[in-house]
Amino acid sequence: MKQLEEIKGLGPKTKCSLQRLGVMTSEDLLYYYPFRYETLKKSNIEELKQDDKIVIDGNIESIPTVFHINRRLNKMNFRIVSDGKLLQVVIFNRSFLKSRLSIGEIVTVIGKYDCKHNLIIANDIRLGPLPKSPRIVPIYHSYSGIGGKQIQSYLLQLFSDEIDVVDYIPEGLSLKYQFMDKVRSLKQIHFPTNKHSLKTALLRAKYEELFLFMLKMNYLKKEKQHTNGLKRDVSFAYIEEFIKCLPFSLTEDQLVCIKAIYDDLNGKKRMNRLIQGDVGSGKTIVSFVAMYMNHLSGYQSALMVPTEILARQHYKKLEEIFEPYQVNVAVLTGKTKAKEKREIYEGLKNGTISIVVGTHALISEAVEYKNLGLVITDEQHRFGVNQRSNLKNKGITPDILYMSATPIPRTYALTIYGDMDVSNIHTMPSGRCPVITTIKKNEEIREVLENMYKELKQGHQVYVIAPLIEENEKSDLENVTLLEEKMKKAFGKLYQIGVLHGKMSPKEKEEVMLNFEQNEIQILISTTVVEVGVDVSNATMIVIFDSERFGLSALHQLRGRVGRSNLQSYCILISDSEKERLSILTRTNDGFKISEEDFKLRGSGDLFGVRQSGDMQFKIADLKKDFEILMKAKEDSEVYILNGKIEEDIILKEYVEETKILS
Ligand code: ADP
Ligand code: MG
- pLDDT at residue number 609: 37
Q: Are 190 and 232 in contact (CB under 8 A)?
A: no
Q: How remote is the CA of residue 72 from the centroid of ligand 1, in Å? A: 67
Supply the residue whose CA is at minimum distance from atom 23 of ligand 1. 250
Is residue 294 predicted with pLDDT exceeding 90? Answer: yes
- pLDDT at residue number 605: 42
CA 425/CA 252 separation, integer angstroms: 9
* Mutation choice for ligand 1 from 535, 540, 589, CB with most ligand atoms inside 8 A: 535
Is residue 595 predicted with pLDDT exceeding 90? Answer: no
Q: How remote is the CA of residue 529 from the centroid of ligand 1, in Å? A: 20
pLDDT band at 505 (very low <50, low <70, confident <90, very high): confident
- pLDDT at residue number 416: 65
Identify which has the larger pLDDT, 390 or 655.
655
Report which bound ligand comes closest to the CA of 277.
1
Is residue 610 predicted with pLDDT exceeding 60? Answer: no
Q: Write out the E strands in 201-354.
A: 272-277, 300-304, 329-332
Amino acid identity at 167: D
Q: Are 92 and 121 in contact (CB under 8 A)?
A: no
Q: Are 226 and 641 in contact (CB under 8 A)?
A: no
- pLDDT at residue number 206: 96
Report residue 364: phi and psi, to 5°: -70, 160
Identify which has the larger pLDDT, 177 or 479.
177
Pocket flag, ligand 1, residue 111 (CB < 6 Å): no
Across the range 363-375, mean pLDDT stands at 88
Across the range 655-662, mean pLDDT stands at 68
- pLDDT at residue number 26: 92
CA 415/CA 630 separation, integer angstroms: 9
- pLDDT at residue number 607: 40
pLDDT band at 532 (very low <50, low <70, confident <90, very high): low
Give me the chain's average pLDDT, please.
Answer: 87
DSSP secondary structure string for all residues of 120-176: EEEEEEEESPPPSSPEEEEE---GGG--HHHHHHHHHHHHTS-------S-HHHHHH
Q: Which atom of ligand 1 is nearest to the CA of 378?
A: 4
Q: Are 405 and 279 in contact (CB under 8 A)?
A: yes
- pLDDT at residue number 593: 83
Largest CA distance in the chain: 97
pLDDT band at 391 (very low <50, low <70, confident <90, very high): low
pLDDT tens, residue by residue, 86-99: 999 999 999 989 99
Alpha carbon of 416 to those of 6, 226, 259, 449, 629: distances in Å? 40, 20, 24, 42, 17
Q: Are 383 and 407 in contact (CB under 8 A)?
A: no
Is residue 384 predicted with pLDDT exceeding 50? Answer: no
Pocket flag, ligand 1, residue 559 (CB < 6 Å): no
Supply the residue whose CA is at minimum distance from atom 15 of ligand 1. 282
Q: How remote is the CA of residue 532 from the centroid of ligand 2, in Å? A: 7
Is residue 612 predicted with pLDDT exceeding 50? Answer: no
Q: How remote is the CA of residue 280 from the centroid of ligand 1, in Å? A: 6
Pocket flag, ligand 1, residue 535 (CB < 6 Å): yes
pLDDT tens, residue by residue, 445-493: 999 999 999 999 999 999 999 876 654 455 666 678 888 999 999 999 9
* Mutation choice for ligand 1 from 253, 256, 285, CB with most ligand atoms inside 8 A: 285
Pocket flag, ligand 1, residue 564 (CB < 6 Å): yes
Across the range 159-175, mean pLDDT stands at 93
Report which bound ligand comes closest to the CA of 283.
1
- pLDDT at residue number 408: 67
pLDDT band at 365 (very low <50, low <70, confident <90, very high): confident
Pocket flag, ligand 1, residue 407 (CB < 6 Å): no
448-482 exposure pattern, b = at least 16 Cβ within 10 A, e = fewer: bbebbeebbeeebbbbbbbbbbeeeeeebbebbbe
CA 259/CA 250 separation, integer angstroms: 12
- pLDDT at residue number 596: 76
- DSSP letter at 368? B
Q: Are 438 and 573 in contact (CB under 8 A)?
A: yes
Pocket flag, ligand 1, residue 281 (CB < 6 Å): yes
Across the range 363-387, mean pLDDT stands at 73
Identify which has the larger pLDDT, 148 or 530.
148
Is residue 432 predicted with pLDDT exceeding 50? Answer: yes
The share of the chain scoring above pLDDT 90, in percent, equals 54
